[in-house]
Amino acid sequence: MRRLCPRCHCQGQPQRGFSSRRMRFLVDRCAGHRLAEWLHNKGHDALEALALGPDPGDKALLELAESENRILITIDKDFGELIFLHRVSHAGLIRLPDVRMSQRIKMIEEIIETYGPELEERAVITLQGRRIRISHPPSN
């Protein structure tokens, strides 16, 4: 299987060993319970949005993730608009808009392993098929 590589279709060279770090995530309802459970089983701090009660809305989720220094994982495209157009603060975002449920865990594992440093720098990572886009929104 080919590795993800930013801004190109070539094989990427992952930075091995990064995923051993414990990271903090907020998993949006649409991303799935299995993904949150898998992250927890891998030693990460994974909070499910579903556990927060009624849906507080995208902006409130993004603000909660930022206040708790959690990377938000979602399939929802609206978060990109909040970050880039409305400049809502965030602690990082992984968007999987076109990834089937059966592939999400594998893709998240590869993203964490390969792009952990970018995530720690509050990057927005969007996976589209086998292409990945890494963006660093302007500071507020």
The total number of structural domains in the chain stands at 1
Tens digits of residue pLDDT in 32-91: 899 999 999 999 999 999 999 998 999 999 999 999 999 999 999 899 899 999 999 999
- Average pLDDT of span 107-127: 94
Rounded CA gap, 51 and 29, in Å?
9
Q: Is 6 within a domain?
A: no
Q: Domain of 127: which CATH number?
A: 3.40.50
Distance set, CA 10 to CA 50, 69, 94 (Å)? 37, 32, 21
78 SS3 class: helix
* Domain that residue 98 falls in: 21-135
Question: What pTM, to 2 d.p., does this model score?
Answer: 0.83
Q: Is 1 within a domain?
A: no
Q: Residue 2 phi/psi, 5° resolution?
A: -75, 145
Q: Is 131 within a domain?
A: yes
Q: Is 85 within a domain?
A: yes
